[in-house]
Structure 1
């Protein structure tokens, strides 16, 4: 028969490697073996797409969220609450009061006199260990690090 027309691809690439200009710090022989382009600059449309992807990643990082489920006795479907959208317990309780159209008690509000407990609900949370605790017993930052879900129960 005849001799094979192709020789080792790596030897032909390496021998012809010196004809192409080197980009700063890049090994073209490796690029060519992998089938990568030897062009030093990227086409404008690829550059634009890359910039868009970076911008979207930055937006995702800046818009931090931490959603937990909130359940209320008597309501079969839970709701999601973004805890990082709130500044502290007062802001979160106000949102839950409005969301569930009820008065919610928590550890700081439980000390107030003149509250009609039969018309109120208590807010508790489940921590990492699975224990149910009353909301407001620990500082806000510690609460954010250990809360897994919230539960509103009748007094």
Structure 2
């Protein structure tokens, strides 16, 4: 998570059936580190969830059907919404 201590957590995407379930789990996991409105997956959130695909490109969440996403996702990152807009996500 951008702005939090540098550490990683593993998330098994196969335990979730939809983006909403993943957003809920991540909101609970990182709520204590958020500065501002975490609410990942909501339009008014101060943070956005992005992922690195199998080619190595960073992509915005929610553009692909869930099953396609979980087969191509290699890494997740929670970044500030301002950073996401700066890089075009």
Q: Shorter-chain-normalised TM-score: which range?
A: 0.7 to 0.9
Could you say which residue in structure 2 is the equivalent of 1:103?
39
Residue 104 of structure 1 deviates from its aligned partner by 1.1
- Structure 2, unpaired ranges of 5+: 32-37, 82-89
Q: Distance in 2 between matches of 1:76 and 1:103?
A: 21
Residue 139 of structure 1 deviates from its aligned partner by 0.2
TM-align CA RMSD:
1.2
Count of equivalent residues: 74
Q: Quick one: higher RCO (CA 8 Å, sep 6+), 1 or 2?
A: 2
**TM-score normalised over the length of structure 1:** 0.45
Greater share of strand residues, 1 or 2?
A: 1
Q: Distance in 1 between matches of 2:8 and 2:29?
A: 11
Q: Secondary structure at the match of 2:20?
A: helix
Q: Secondary structure at the match of 1:153?
A: strand
Could you say which residue in structure 1 is the equivalent of 2:66?
140
Greater share of helix residues, 1 or 2?
A: 1
1:51-62 to structure 2, matched below 5 A, reads: none
- Structure 1, unpaired ranges of 5+: 1-71
Residue 88 of structure 1 deviates from its aligned partner by 0.7
Q: Distance in 2 between matches of 1:127 and 1:154?
A: 19
Could you say which residue in structure 2 is the equivalent of 1:85?
15
Q: Which has the larger radius of gyration?
A: 1
Could you say which residue in structure 2 is the equivalent of 1:45?
none
- For 1:84-123, what per-residue CA distance to the aligned partner results, in whole angstroms no more than 9, with x for missing partners? 1111100000000000003213xxx43xxxx2x5xx2000
Give the 4+ runs in structure 1 shifted more than 3 A: none
